[in-house]
Structure 1
Amino acid sequence: MCADTTAVDYKDTLNLPETDFPMRAGLPQREPEWLARWAEIGIYDRLREKEGRTPFILHDGPPYANGHLHIGHALNKVLKDFIVRSQQMLGKDARYVPGWDCHGLPIEWKIEEKYRAEGKNKDEVNVVDFRQECRKFAEGWVDIQREEFKRIGITGNWPQPYLTMDFHAERVIAEEFMKFLMNGTLYQGSKPVMWSPVEKTALAEAEVEYHDHTSHQVWVRFKPVSGGEKISSEDFSVVIWTTTPWTIPQNRAVAFGPTIEYGLYKVTEVHEHSAATVGEVVLLANSLAESVMQGVRVTAFEKVADVAADALEGMVLAHPYRGAEDANGEWDYDVPMLPGDHVTEEAGTGFVHTAPSHGDDDYQLGLKFGLPMTYNVTEDSSYRKDLPIFAGMHIILPDGKEGPANVANIKQMAYTKALFGKAKLKHSYPHSWRSKAPVIYRNTPQWFAAIDKDVNDGQDTYGKTIRERALTSIDKLVKWTPQTGRNRIYSMIEARPDWVLSRQRAWGVPLTCFVKKDTLPTDPDFLLRNEAINARICEAFEAEGADVWYTEGFKEKVFGSDANPEDYNQVFDVLDVWFDSGSTHSFVLRDRPDGAADGIADLYLEGTDQHRGWFHSSMLQACGTKGRAPYKGVLTHGFTLDEKGMKMSKSLGNTIVPQEVIDQYGADILRLWVAQTDYTADQRIGDKIIKGVADSYRRLRNTMRFMLGSLNDFTEADRVAPADMPELERWVLHRLAELDKVVREGYSAYDFQGVFQALFNFATVDLSAFYFDIRKDALYCDGDTLQRRASRTVLDILFKRLTTWLAPILAFTMEEVWLERHKDEGASVHLVDFFDTPSEWLDPELAAKWAAIRKVRRVVTAALEVQRRDKVIGASLEAAPVVHVEDAGTLAALKTVTFEDLCITSGIELTNDAAPAEAYRMGEVEGVAVVFEKAEGEKCQRCWKILPDVGTHKHEGVCARCDAALG
């Protein structure tokens, strides 16, 4: 034995990992280099050249081109990118055409803000000039957002996106609208719609958001005029409750519930500030009387009599302003009491004030009983100039604040002794999502698509009406992920009213139709339906865009000799922007060579709010023009909240800007955050969460770095067939075969969280903490042995699968990893499909054996950790424990492997002898105990194992294995 071995340095004889792959990623600096490389080698176009593949079309829901990206944009586009990249690597032709919504209020509003800042009046600007400014604004933001999306690593046809303001798109949108014109579902009606007084336009449900709002609430007396004979009181009032006092001038009826039990109640005591009077009698729903009296500050009351609902039939009331001074008889009409199924006992008085011009239930009741509509409220929410008492008063002021209309009405009720009580109520109220101002229901002439009228287009496979086709599509043609999305949109479409298509704005595709002068909307000839004129409109839009509609002489030009232009008025409303985006299936999917041959996408993917937005409008539009839904699948994600679960807002200062995350950490960290979230629910993000994601990334990066270092000079000559590999290597192949199924099924089901968790656990637990830890010794210290060649073969197999499996998620990092081994020009991991993994690698029997071995190993490593913690040893190679195993089968399995190598000890003794009481045990692993013993012998100066034979060989201070390796 050599007396002094410490001076010998064998470091240069070891097969230590070699790689230029840095431990520090430097993603913010490096990622732009890969983006430039992808553009240079034309990856997206090269993928399209792969022949014989089944197309997979994820149709992009267009964001608005009006501002920098927020975290919701990033979540949405990254999820889409996961799908496009993974479907491509699963063997499909996964095309992705990004798009933008360029028309509509959000962009028009920005130009109006600019005008206001410059002191300009929009109404004084030529409409075509105004539209050109909107177009220019949208173009600028398309370019900005395109670069921001590309920076996140989103793949797609970026040079040729779709824009709803492209001339062809505007032509097709008009063309699709004219299908409604020609198939009989388009009509002009006057009914209440949600109206933004600030923006002076109708709004779709998707353009409305709900916020807490403090409203006036009033209880109002209506005095009977006739028909009260069935009620045992000569003097009483019917009391209604409303949170919109401004609608009282438009009242035309009071509705009661046919199944509600009513009663007469006498006021016997009141608070000093109550508007009620002692001795008066009021009619209320029995179940609501107590809450009403409390609300109006009546401190004592008594029931006089019960009143059946049928006793109210035929009763006529006086309007609260009847006979009012200076009213000029405006409200001296009768107010009938009418039965209404919408009247409930949930709140109020049991009676509903009915203004058909200002609510859908009211409107429907008005239709049923022939109530007149009123036109008292103008587009800016001010009362008409000739309305007595309230002329010109605003409900909502131009700045979005409350106008004087509510208070003026409350005062008038007090003057006429109609006010029974008043208070304030904080409740959820609809606001415009753009101006953030409250909206109102307002009766205006609008253009509608009738969703319950037969569509005369011969496409009746899934139903005759738009609603029937939509509901059938939802249940029979579309896969909803998650399935709850089906219920959400089904209930919305099942109960929705006709679709309001028109907006009173300037920037959009006009409603390309003409109405005959001096005719009513109910007249069969009201709308001009002429195929030749329609065709000329389409040709003009294709050549010059929709602006041409607003040019002088356009009507005369397209009419030609087919109709007399003097007989018709041209419509200048613009289409609801949701009609634009709802039509994208036609000008993107149907018309583009990189679209879908049948005009139907495999998948639409957006946030859950789009059940009432893009999913909804696309469904209605397509069911009206092609007879079915334009998609086969719909995937939805939740909203992004801060770390505390609060909604992000600039005022709270809790917003996360994607570009800031990218600048600090890199886009792959943002992508990894998406992969680690359950996107079907609301997700959280913040500094702490991002730091946790970055830590996961570092662990995964180190796993890839170890593989690269160990494969630095691997060649095909080193490859070992699986059948010739040791069991541990074959166990790794078994795990890969299991994972291959998990990855393919996960990506196919869009379960990115499941895919990443499976791969991350495999990389960090099975590989880094187990397989790599064990095989470092052979990789570093063995010579050209079967063991080392088998280990490197497995590493090569691992490399191919992990880099490709993770490439859809970590698009930049896996490209960097791939290029470390594939430096040839034009190489890219994104040009490669997932590698086939032989099913014969699956070996459940071997896996069961190794599961048992790993259990015993856990006890050994835990026992050694105790010794290390107590500073008995510094490293596990200083140990040679005795392992007591009760189960004979497990013991036999352990004896078939080199268990000391698995435990990274210098020696180990296996026995089924009874373990002494002081032996180390783990409660969750029964029948295994470990007695610590130190390894005997000298420390090998090359592999650091402590063995009895060290120093007895040719080379100084080494063991037999190292001596053979040194030659």
Structure 2
Amino acid sequence: MTDTFEKIDYSKTLYLPQTEFPMRAGLPEKEPVTVARWQKMDLYKRLRESAAGREKYVLHDGPPYANGNIHIGHALNKILKDVITRSFQMRGFDSNYVPGWDCHGLPIEWKIEEKYRAAGKNKDEVEINEFRKECREFAAGWIKVQGEEFQRLGVVGDFDNPYTTMNFHAEARIAGELLKFAMSGQLYRGSKPVMWSVVERTALAEAEVEYQDYESDTIWVKFPVASGSEALAGAHVVIWTTTPWTIPGNRAVSYSPRIAYGLYEVTAAENDFGPQPGEKLIFAAALADESAAKAKVTLNLIRSLSGEELGMLVLSHPFKGLGGGYGFAVPMIAGDHVTDDAGTGFVHTAPGHGREDFEAWMDAGVELRNRGIDTAIPFTVDDGGFFTKDAPGFGPDREGGAARVIDDHGKKGDANKAVIDELIKRGALFARGRLKHSYPHSWRSKKPIIFRNTPQWFVYMDKQLGDGTTLRSRALQAIDDTRFVPAAGQTRLRAMIEDRPDWVLSRQRAWGVPIAIFADADGNVLKDEAVNARIVEAFEKEGADAWFAEGARERFLGSRANEAWKQVMDILDVWFDSGSTHAFTLEDRPDLKWPADVYLEGSDQHRGWFHSSLLESCGTRGRAPYKAVVTHGFTMDEEGRKMSKSLGNTVVPQDVLKQSGADILRLWVMTTDYWEDQRLGKNVLQTNIDAYRKLRNTIRWMLGTLAHDDGEEVALAEMPELERLMLHRLSELDALVRKGYDDFEFKRITRALIDFMVVELSAFYFDIRKDVLYCDAPSSTRRKAAVHVVRELFNCLVKWLAPMLPFTTEEAWLERNPEAVSVHLEQFPEVPAGWHDEALAEKWRKIRQVRSVVTGALELERAKKTIGSSLEAVPVVYMSDAVLEEALSGIDLAEISITSDLVISHEDLTGDSFMLREVPGVAVVVEKAEDRGLVKCARSWRYTSDVGSDAAFADVSARDAAALHELKSLGRL
């Protein structure tokens, strides 16, 4: 009989893993095939059908601009959104994702203008709706491209029916939202200094400005005292400014009653053009010496001055008489914005060129008019950055033409030089210098901007709205009612709302939704519901182009066309467009809901989309359009530097997809602290590739093992402790995963799952159970229990990972369940409460402490080459810790340590032993199995004392012989 089985290939009698799931992922080739499959089967539609009737969970998509291929920031953003929507979908919600695009505004308009310039065409010679048509077609082309790129990342959403701000219905609703502000009296026309881009020829909002280092000319200017104090006759108040070109717009000098000032006399001077001995000058006491050093003069304090005395002064403009102008009085006014931190303690106040200057001027308006001072604000600079007739000597009357602040390319013009030269000529310049500082630039053109007084349309922030609230107070309350992740976002947005000026809505461009109102010469808005209805109806049918069509004024005004109403031709700020998306998307789509559960964007959107959406919704509905706001940082290179083409350190998502695959990029997103700025580069990607490989191999091993799964279940009470321990760990992970998805803490989930799969499964549980799974008989309860647990592990882990790694989990799920449609149509597993067993877990923490000493000793012997496999060893474990020894009760420590045998000893130690400082009371001496008379089993490779006990299989252990008999009886041998 023995001879019959001598030639058996025992490897064929083992339940070795069998799977078609490859070790090499091949993601760049496989993922596009999966995307095509999802599109063909209409996975999005199936998701909606499967979720019909469930509670909705809505992440509202912040719209990117449709003007180019996606970059790494887009990839980060869309992956985060996809993970959120998928995770809620798989937890019992109808989590519908509707992508959107921002289509209006300068980014697209500029592209068309560039095309015109290249063809030698003039935009102004093209009919406006023809130009708008080209903008619309340009945006539509990029929507298609970006939509495909987003789907290649694994994003699933309603890409066949996205929302776009240029959709006719959207344009009608945007106009309708504006009309709500108009009808409620929140919209007004005002003349204020606004941030103005000379390059782009339009007003800008706070959200459209970024700050960059910029070198400015700085000047100290003397303003002669004209009246108000005989004692100060002949003295000069000295101001300091970084914008010399604003001096023609000066109308006052601001001081602070809280600052100590003094009257000083120049006693010595070493300069070419500045003050000379005998001149009397007024400075803040804290800044006099610093100012004197700039002009290379010596000052002597004559006496201190009070705020009351300063407030009585009227000054003369240093350009008095130039070009027949500047003859007006320049009053001293108190200002809260004045400090003695830098400069002179006085602020040159040009109300047409700065927000604080404007506010100080307006606050003093009544008092100034009572003193007979004209409070009109001049328009000294036009839309091209040229001085106007309100700047005599520098405007059109200047020899050689008007001086210019900034040219069409964003370069400094000749305005500063012209002003400084004139100040020197008049002896009004105290000192000059240069300063490198942070200065506002357009975030589109990247060129410096100016503050310029110009008529624009605004929304009041502080006007009473009839219910005891203002737009500002409503917004601040809404911020308090909103959940922010991270929490610091709440403080940031609150600070912006608290300090922001009125919302400037108008833009002097062509591509966008118009400010579709009629106003009279004084800026009063026509409030006529019938007119409004005609406007909205036309936009719904024809789009906003209807506003610019021939005869539009008469069409919309109807019977009122003979009245003196002027059609406003300014374009709406695109932030108002995107801030209104909640209205025409969340409210108007039955598959969504208002308000959204969450908005997620980059941290810059505290001043952008989060901000404008908040103001628009609070102004029209009294609350925020979102319940929660989640923000992410920006992606830097591996050294923490900002990515830029000039540095050559950009990571292009399309390249990552081609080289590694979307799931690698998604894993990177999931393992970052995305709330902060993240780093990405070759080394970071390789780290994620390595982690993915380990994760994939764990999934592959489970699939291979489950190839032998007959679906039989083992009752929890009948399972060995090790299996029950793994189920307990699943119960712990279930709570962690669900909370992590709720808290948007994806790194916590990913770290926990990867550690579990690599450390607790591959290097512990699977390693231990390979012998049972491969070698035990088909009827073995141990084996059945282990297969049952591997089945549960696979189901839980693949589903939990599905929102994060949709391609890999789909491949694994279909390999395991060929008849299935998609893992993404599944729900997260319901983990039985009975799996949780903290007492068992505590016991196994002690067991693993003892095991760690054993495995440490084995590693040491391996390093010495005393043994090869751990199965060649029989550790002798010397126990002096009763608590740890009690934990070993009922446990086969040899099996847990993956050794052929193991001896527990209470004898005193003799000779060398292995110990771990953190596990006192346990010492190990490793002996060789052969030295103890054990023989190696030819099937399992374990060393036992019963090899050959079954004559039918003389070279295997009794356990393996029994398994072989059973396999033979089943016809498998």
Q: CA deviation at 1:269?
A: 3.9
The structural deviation recorded for 1:949 is 2.5
Which residue of 1 is the match for residue 309 of structure 2? 311
- Residue identity opposite 1:285 in structure 2: A
- Deviation, structure 1 residue 274: 6.6
Shift of 1:698: 0.4
- In 1: Cα distance, 2:258 partner to 2:81 partner: 52
> Cα deviations across residues 123-161 of structure 1 (Å, max 9, x unaligned)?
121111111111111011101100010000011111000
**Counterpart residue identity of residue 915, structure 2:** R
Q: Please give the secondary structure, in 2, of the residue aligned with 1:557.
A: helix
Alignment match, 1:631? 626
Matches within 5 A, 1:164-563: 164-231=165-232, 234-272=233-271, 275-298=274-297, 300-323=298-321, 327-370=322-365, 371-384=375-388, 387-391=391-395, 392-455=402-465, 460=467, 464-476=469-481, 478-516=482-520, 519-521=521-523, 526-561=524-559, 563=560
Whether the 8 Å contact between 2:273 and 2:424 is mirrored in structure 1 is no
Q: Deviations over 1:278-320 (max 9, x none)?
A: 443321111112222233333x433232222221011011111
Q: In the alignment, is the contact (CA less than 8 A) between 2:948 and 2:958 conserved in 1? A: no
- 1:174 is paired with a residue whose SS is helix
Instruction: Report if aligned partners of 2:257, 2:307 keep a CA contact under 8 Å in 1.
Output: yes
Asked if 1:22 is matched to 2:22, the reply is yes
Q: CA separation in 1, counterparts of 2:338 and 2:127?
A: 49
Match of 1:134 in 2: 135
Distance in 2 (alpha carbons) for counterparts of 1:230 and 1:182: 55
- Residue pair 1:492, 1:612 contacting (<8 A) in 2 also: yes
Q: Does the residue aligned with 2:624 lie in a helix, a strand or coil?
A: coil
Question: Among the aligned pairs, what percent are the same residue?
Answer: 55
In the TM superposition, residue 277 of structure 1 has moved relative to its aligned partner by 2.7
DSSP 3-state at the match of 1:880: strand
Instruction: Please give the alpha-carbon distance, in whole angstroms, between the structure 1 residues aligned to 2:928 and 2:546.
Output: 91
Task: Give the structure-1-normalised TM-score.
Answer: 0.96
Say if 1:297 and 1:217 are closer, same or farther in 2 by CA, change over 3 A. same
What is the CA-CA distance between 1:96 and the residue it aligns to?
0.8
Partner AA of 2:167 in structure 1: D
Q: Distance in 1 between matches of 2:341 and 2:81?
A: 44
Separation (CA, whole Å) in 2 of partners of 1:263 and 1:650 = 53
- 2-side partners of 1:150 and 1:853: how far apart? 48
Q: Measure how far apart 1:41 and its partner are.
A: 1.8
Of residues 853-862 and 306-315 in structure 1, the stretch that sits farther from structure 2 once superposed is 306-315
Number of aligned residue pairs: give it. 944
1:888 aligns to 2:888 (yes or no):
no
The alignment partner of 2:221 has SS state of strand
Tell me the residue number matched to 2:372. none
Return the offset for 1:446.
0.3
Find the aligned partners of 2:323 and 2:53 in 1 and give their Cα distance.
80
Counterpart of 1:693 in structure 2: which amino acid?
N
Determine if contact 1:356/1:372 at 8 Å carries over to the other structure.
no
- Give the match's secondary structure for 1:567: coil
* Matched letter for residue 106 of structure 1: P
Give the letter for the 1:681 counterpart.
E
Q: Deviations over 1:718-774 (max 9, x none)?
A: 321222110000000000011111111111111111111111111111111100010
Give the distance between the partners of 1:384 and 1:956, measured in 2 at CA.
108
Provide the rounded CA distance (Å) in 2 between the counterparts of 1:653 and 1:512: 45
> How far apart in 1 are the matches of 2:273 and 2:95?
69
- Residues 51-72 of structure 1: CA distance to partner in whole angstroms, max 9, x if unpaired? 3311001000000001111111
- For residues 686-712 of structure 1, the C-alpha deviation after alignment (integer angstroms, 9 at most, x for no partner) is 110011011100000010001000001
Q: Among residues 796, 799, 810, which one is paired with 2:791 in the alignment?
A: 796
SS of the aligned residue for 2:491 comes to helix
Per the TM alignment, residue 372 of structure 1 is displaced from its structure 2 partner at its CA by: 2.3
1:593 aligns with 2:603: no
CA contact (8 A) 1:274 1:297 kept: no
Q: CA deviation at 1:8?
A: 6.4
For structure 1, which runs of at least 5 residues remain unmatched after alignment?
A: none
Quote the residue 2:801 is aligned against.
806
- Matched position secondary structure for 2:191: strand
Report Cα offsets for 1:60-92 as digits up to 9, x if no partner: 000000111111111111110110000011100
Query: What pairs with 1:85-96 in structure 2 (closer than 5 Å)?
Result: 85-96=86-97
Distance 2:483 2:119 in 1: 50
Q: Distance in 2 between matches of 1:137 and 1:273?
A: 58
Separation of aligned partners in 2, 1:960 and 1:266? 111
Q: Secondary structure at the match of 1:328?
A: helix
1:63-78 residue pairs with structure 2 within 5 A? 63-78=64-79
Q: Alpha-carbon deviations, 1:629-658, whole Å to 9, x = none? A: 111111111111111111111111111111
Correspondence for 1:713 among 695, 708, 712: 708
Q: Which moved more, 1:112-121 or 1:568-577?
A: 112-121
Question: C-alpha distance in 1, partners of 2:252/2:9?
Answer: 101
Between the aligned partners of 1:421 and 1:165, the Cα distance in structure 2 is: 53
Distance 1:347 1:386 in 2: 30
Offset at residue 387 of structure 1 (A): 4.2
Structure 1 position 528, deviation (Å):
1.1
Q: CA deviation at 1:385?
A: 5.6
Aligned partner of 2:399 in structure 1 is none
849, 861, 869: which is aligned to 1:875? 869
Q: Aligned partners of 1:165 and 1:129: how far apart in 2?
A: 15
> Partner amino acid for 1:506?
A
* Equivalent residues in 2 for 1:827-842, closer than 5 Å: 827-842=821-836
Distance in 2 between residues matched to 1:295 and 1:813, nearest whole Å: 67
Is 1:923 aligned to residue 923 of structure 2? no
* Aligned counterparts of 2:697 and 2:848: Cα–Cα separation in 1: 23
Moved more, 943-952 or 437-446: 943-952
Cα offset, 1:2, TM superposition: 10
Name the aligned partner's letter for residue 694 of structure 1. Answer: I
The structure-2 alpha-carbon separation of the partners of 1:683 and 1:565, relative to structure 1 and needing over 3 Å to count, comes to farther
Partner of 1:62: 63
Please tell me whether residue 820 in structure 1 is matched to residue 815 in structure 2: yes
- Seen in structure 2, the aligned counterparts of structure 1 residues 9 and 254 have a Cα distance that, compared at 3 Å, is same
Match of 1:255, SS state, is: strand
SS of the residue aligned with 1:397?
coil
2: CA distance between counterparts of 1:892 and 1:25?
45
Change (3 A) 1:565 1:548: farther
Q: Distance in 2 between matches of 1:796 and 1:2?
A: 37
The structure 2 residue matched to 1:682, chosen from 677, 682, 692, is 677
* 2:105 corresponds to: 104
Query: Partner of 2:58: helix, strand, or coil?
Result: strand
Give the 3-state SS of the residue equivalent to 1:922 in structure 2: coil
Q: SS of 1:606's equivalent?
A: strand
- Equivalent-residue separation in structure 2 for 1:678 and 1:53 (angstroms): 32
Cα distance change on mapping 1:272 and 1:248 into 2, 3 Å: closer
Partner of 1:786: 781
Q: Is the 8 A contact 2:15 2:708 kept in 1?
A: no
Partners of 1:475 and 1:921 lie apart in 2 by: 56
Q: What is the TM-score when the length of structure 2 is the normalising length?
A: 0.95
